[in-house]
Every structure is written in C-alpha cells, then in structure tokens.
C-alpha cells in the first residue's frame, strides 16, 4: 500500500501532534515535495486548525477516529504523550495495515509504538538531532542534520527517502540504550550553551564589556569546535589541567570564591571531567593528579 513506485502519487501523511518539531519537518517535506498532508490532529481544535493554516496543507481532524487511512503517520506529540497517542490510534480501528508510523522522541525506541505494530503498522523512531521551532526553516538549513532512526528493515526503507529528501543525515541504529543516548545528545547541546552563558557572566564580572565577553566566548567556542572536529576531544584538549598547572587552577577557584562563590561547584565538576581526559591520555604524574584531586573535590 505504501511503497509507491518512482513517479507514482505522493504518499499521504497524517500527523498527530503537529507542533514545533513535526510542523518543521512537514513544512520541509512539502517544500521537497515528498508527500501530501492528509489529516492533522492536535490536542485542541484551534491548534489543529492553526497548524493547517500555517502549513497551507491538510485538514484539521476532530479526533483520532475521524482521521482517514494514510500511508504515513507521524506522532509528533510531546514525549509524555507518545504512548497514549499510540494507544488511542490503535484503538481507533483505523486501517493501519502496512502504514509507516513514526515518532520523533529521542527518549524512545519502538516499544512505545507496540500497540500499533499489533495492528499491522510498521513502527519507526526518527530523532532529528537539532532544535526545531516550526519557524521559517528551509531544506538548506536542515541539510546535514543528524536523523537517528530505528525500525524494522521495511520501516527504515520507507523512512530513509523522507529523511534524505530534506537533506537529513541518515543514521540508522538498533537497540540502543535510549536513556544514555538522550542524556548524551541533550547534554552536548544544552550544557554547551549553559557553560557559554556562565563564561560570559564571569567575563563581564571580570570587567569586560558585554559585547567583548560575547565575542570572546563565541570565538573561543568556534575554534574549540574546529579543533574538536579535526582531532577529537582527547587529542585537542589543552589548558591548565592537562598542563598540570595546579597553581593556576587554585587561582581560578580563589577568583570564583570572591566573585561567584555559587559557581565553584560548576567549575570543579567541569574541571574534573577535563582531569579524567588528561588522566586517560596519561599526561599527569601521580603527585599532580593527587593535588588536582584534592583541589577539585573541594
């Protein structure tokens, strides 16, 4: 039903939960164009109608049972609602036989879609690893976005063309530890922003004008990323911890104690991570490691 031959009619996509993420992707699929939009269902009627208006496609549904059969179903509700949406769709007696049903929650694999697999649907998980805001997003912006996908071979065969049509980087996985995976992708993006924000606060407290603090932080981040991509974390890491400059680290802690005492623990935890890297690389002798251990334990 759903594997269209090349040049055949575009498959129809129904969306349950057309918010920031699903709305952004649907917009791109319409630009490609890769599919037609069938029915859209959000929690509230006005929100479903707004999504239809914003996309200029599809029809607002009144309920899950009101949604006609489709080739593709996207569950784009918040993480906590994916399972209940899947259950509601499975209970709606819609024809799901052979339909590809996928969600966008990095936190989950296929287990949350089990009720739909029992109805003959092909379940898949597709996590676009970037922030999606449903604002003006073009295929050029999306190009290269890591799209981590999980599903049966048949489901992946159907999902891959959708991802590549909008420039996504196709990254299939299977049976991964979703807790650790999601912790990792959340931390790398959000903690980087949190650390940059802390650094900017410290720089302005140190007396740098706001614009200078921003320029220093952004420039440093840009070159850090270049180094990281070129040689990896272990090879590219530098600074007082890997050099073994314990007195410099003592001075950092002293400065924070007088200007930003609440941030000392943040510094210690982050510096301990760097120390672990230095230790793994074998840079430091036992005495230096012990000195750092005492300093960074607090």
Ligand X SMILES: NC(=O)c1ccc[n+]([C@@H]2O[C@H](COP(=O)([O-])OP(=O)(O)OC[C@H]3O[C@@H](n4cnc5c(N)ncnc54)[C@H](OP(=O)(O)O)[C@@H]3O)[C@@H](O)[C@H]2O)c1
DSSP H helices, 206-263, are 210-236, 240-243, 246-259
17 contributes a contact to ligand X by CB under 6 A: yes
Our CB check for ligand X shows the closer of 17 and 123 to be: 17
Residues 6+ apart with CB under 8 A from 185: 106, 127, 129
Euclidean distance between CA atoms 183 and 190, whole angstroms: 10
Euclidean distance between CA atoms 89 and 119, whole angstroms: 10
Are 262 and 270 contacting, i.e. CB atoms less than 8 angstroms apart? Answer: no
Kind plus residue range of the DSSP H or E element containing 183: helix 178-186
275 contributes a contact to ligand X by CB under 6 A: no
Per DSSP bridges, beta strands 72-75 and 122-128 are: unpaired
- The least distance separating ligand X from the CB of residue 77, rounded to whole angstroms, comes to 4
Q: Does the CA dihedral 217-183-149-88 come out positive or negative?
A: negative
34 contributes a contact to ligand X by CB under 6 A: no
- Nearest residue by C-beta to ligand X? 19
- The least distance separating ligand X from the CB of residue 15, rounded to whole angstroms, comes to 9
**Contact pick of 11, 13, 16, 166 for ligand X (by CB under 6 A):** 16
Q: Which residues of 1-22 are buried (b: 16+ CB within 10 A; e: fewer)?
A: eeeeeeeeeebbbbbbbbbebb
**Contact pick of 83, 85, 99, 147 for ligand X (by CB under 6 A):** 85
**Contact pick of 41, 99, 147, 256 for ligand X (by CB under 6 A):** 41
Helices (H) and strands (E) in the chain, counts: 13, 8
**Contact pick of 76, 123, 151, 168 for ligand X (by CB under 6 A):** 76
- The least distance separating ligand X from the CB of residue 63, rounded to whole angstroms, comes to 9
**Contact pick of 3, 54, 63, 131 for ligand X (by CB under 6 A):** 131
209 contributes a contact to ligand X by CB under 6 A: no
**Among residue numbers 43 through 62, which ones bind ligand X (CB under 6 A)?**
43-44, 47
Determine the interface stretch with ligand X among 74-82, 198-206, 230-238, 286-294 (rule: CB under 6 A).
74-82
Euclidean distance between CA atoms 204 and 195, whole angstroms: 14
Our CB check for ligand X shows the closer of 127 and 178 to be: 127
Determine the interface stretch with ligand X among 18-26, 94-102, 158-166, 193-201 (rule: CB under 6 A).
18-26
**Contact pick of 11, 109, 128, 151 for ligand X (by CB under 6 A):** 128
At 95 the three-state DSSP class reads coil
What tokens does 225 get? 């990323």
141 contributes a contact to ligand X by CB under 6 A: no
Determine the interface stretch with ligand X among 1-9, 125-133, 153-161, 234-242 (rule: CB under 6 A).
125-133
Euclidean distance between CA atoms 200 and 212, whole angstroms: 9
Instruction: Write out the residues near ligand X by the rule CB under 6 A.
Output: 16-22, 41-44, 47, 76-79, 81, 85, 104-106, 127-128, 131-132
């Amino acid at each position: 039903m759903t594997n269209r031959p090349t040049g055949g009619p575009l498959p129809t996509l129904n969306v349950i939960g057309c918010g920031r993420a699903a709305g952004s992707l649907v917009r791109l699929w319409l630009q490609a164009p890769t599919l037609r939009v069938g029915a859209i269902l959000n929690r509230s009627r006005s929100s479903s109608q707004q999504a239809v208006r914003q996309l200029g496609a599809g029809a607002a549904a009144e309920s899950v049972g009101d949604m006609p059969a489709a080739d593709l179903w996207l569950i784009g509700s918040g993480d906590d609602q994916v399972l209940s949406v899947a259950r509601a769709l499975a209970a709606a007696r819609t024809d799901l036989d052979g339909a590809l049903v996928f969600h966008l929650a990095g936190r989950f694999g296929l287990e949350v879609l089990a009720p739909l697999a029992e109805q003959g649907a092909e379940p898949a998980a597709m996590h676009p690893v970037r922030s999606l805001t449903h604002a003006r997003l073009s295929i050029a912006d999306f190009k290269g976005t890591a799209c981590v996908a999980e599903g049966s071979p048949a489901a992946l065969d159907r999902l891959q063309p959708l991802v590549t049509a909008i420039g996504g980087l196709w990254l299939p996985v299977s049976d991964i530890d979703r807790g650790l995976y999601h912790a990792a992708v959340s931390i790398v993006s959000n903690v980087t922003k949190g650390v940059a924000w802390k650094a900017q606060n410290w720089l302005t407290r140190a007396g740098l004008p706001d614009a200078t603090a921003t320029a220093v932080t952004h420039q440093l981040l840009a070159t850090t990323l270049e180094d990281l991509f070129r040689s990896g974390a272990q090879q590219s890491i530098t600074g007082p911890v890997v050099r073994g400059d314990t007195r410099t680290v003592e001075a950092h802690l002293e400065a924070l104690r007088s200007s930003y005492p609440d941030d000392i623990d943040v510094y210690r935890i982050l510096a301990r991570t760097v120390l672990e890297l230095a230790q793994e690389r074998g840079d430091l002798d036992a005495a230096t490691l012990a000195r750092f251990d005492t300093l960074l334990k607090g």
